[in-house]
Structure 1
């Protein structure tokens, strides 16, 4: 297998894995009872903690090590890439029609006559793309980075962590659709469909690494910035919207600690 084929294959498998766990989470609609809001908010907090730790330990810190090994000032690509990632997500957020999970949320992006359920799916799809991109960048870096700062174990830890946090995301997409009167099979289909962009993002991330290896520290920070934007703009507010702030915060702490342990153990 060639130098580029292996990272691409691993990135695709990692993206398929994270998408698959979204499908598992969405499959909860086939059960008779909807999970309690307290459980959902705890799981969403857990997802936020995992994403936050993954951004730091699997993307920003290895990226700074790569920058240092390449003779750069380590914090420069980290800061520039991080802010670009958040800015890019904000730009897409303003342009793409979507609506967030909160039942009272207003429609955002360019005006459209699309149904609210379509806008909800678009919102989750938009916010899943950076996760796939991060997985692809991590696997691409592990296979191609000449400095050795990025490891295959670290990329696997990132994919596992994002997969774990996708479980409650699949649940959070599918159940509002189920409550809106959509059948369980169709609610599951749309729930898992929201993450189908993750394998696409993963392959794109690996390809970007292969084509722009010198910019790898910037790409890793960009993926981290995009994920942190999603955490702050969507996941944490949604997890605390129903007054379960303590449970959500506990979930954040547990998720962060688990992802940190995974990254250290596997990386």
Structure 2
């Protein structure tokens, strides 16, 4: 099955492949949001464990799928070889840092709004928070497909598929993390589902832009891979991990993180 998917994606353009892969990651967000049709509340310890899983997947993907290939494909030795990855990593972190300071958003616990002050409703702010998470994820998938299309040895279609699979798996709890709290606030099931799935619509957009940019500006590939990694790590450290610590479920969140990291590492090394 996986081989068939890889063969098909190799037969189409990088932009088309990135679009299909990120539509898949959006679909799994929608599946997570669909839980709202069955549950009005989510057991908080379970949610924290799932968010920990999300963080583990993102950290593992940042290294195995993005940073390691970025360093491997860079020319030179010593400092010269690692500088593109270092610059890209810092750039990606700063990019999300600036978005975090500018874009108004609200976390799952509804306790603290961040970004510029705005009269927007909590619904919109919560969706924007998860949307902020999804920008680097879609970008990472698109950049990797773009690199694979250029026949860069360190960037393969198989690796891009594994990355999309891992991101899709961790999108399930993100869909839940938006839709269920909205339902608990009294919003209808349909509206809660709509807002939950819409938080990942940015992924296909970012994926297509990433693939198109690499196809046009090939030399930036090592920087772009590390840029996506830096953005994802920033999200994990600044948003995901602190969110799991709000209600004292630290052990569950930590074990979820370890589980997510381990699964993504296995997938990437064994299949990528």
TM-score, normalised to structure 1, is 0.94
Could you tell me how far apart the structure 2 residues matched to 1:141 and 1:198 are?
A: 18
| Alpha-carbon offset, residue 74 of structure 1 | 2.2
User: What is residue 76 of structure 1 aligned with on the other side?
Assistant: 83
1:109 match: 115
Which aligned segments of 4 or more residues in structure 1 are displaced greater than 4 angstroms?
69-72
Q: Deviations over 1:101-144 (max 9, x none)?
A: 22211x22222111111111111112211110011011111111
SS of 1:158's equivalent?
A: helix
Distance 2:163 2:57 in 1: 9
Structure 2 residue 61 is the aligned partner of structure 1 residue 54: yes
Equivalent residue in structure 2 for 1:203, among 208, 219, 227: 208
Name the counterpart of 1:190: 195
Match of 2:179 in 1: 174
Q: What is the aligned partner in structure 2 of residue 165 from structure 1? A: 170
- Cα deviation for residue 71 of structure 1 reads 11
Greater mean alpha carbon deviation, residues 115-124 or residues 225-234: 115-124
Contact 2:141 2:163 in 1 (8 A): yes
1:136 to 2:142 alignment? yes
Matched, 1:10 2:39: no
> 1:227-238 alignment to 2 at 5 Å?
227-238=232-243
* CA distance in 2: counterparts of 1:9 and 1:237, whole angstroms: 36
1:247 aligns with 2:249: no
| Aligned-pair CA distance for 1:169 | 0.3
Count of residues paired in the alignment = 264
Measure how far apart 1:227 and its partner are: 0.5
Q: Could you tell me which runs of 5 or more consecutive residues in structure 2 were left unpaired when the two chains were aligned.
A: 1-7
Report if aligned partners of 2:40, 2:184 keep a CA contact under 8 Å in 1. no
What is the rounded CA distance, in whole Å, between the counterparts of 2:107 and 2:39 in structure 1? 25
Shift of 1:32: 3.8
Residue number among 9, 15, 38 corresponding to 1:31 in the alignment: 38
Greater shift, 225-234 or 67-76, is seen at: 67-76
- Cα deviation, 1:196-231, whole Å, max 9, x if unaligned, reads 000011001101111111010000000000001110
Structure 2 partner of 1:21: 28
Identify which of 227, 236, 245 aligns with 1:222: 227
CA distance in 1, matches of 2:184, 2:25: 25
Cα RMSD for the two superposed structures: 1.9
Change (3 A) 1:71 1:156: farther
Rounded to whole Å, the distance in 2 between the matches of 1:172 and 1:52 is 19
Cα separation, 1, equivalents of 2:32 and 2:76: 40
In 1, distance between residues paired with 2:71 and 2:194? 39
TM-score (norm 2): 0.93
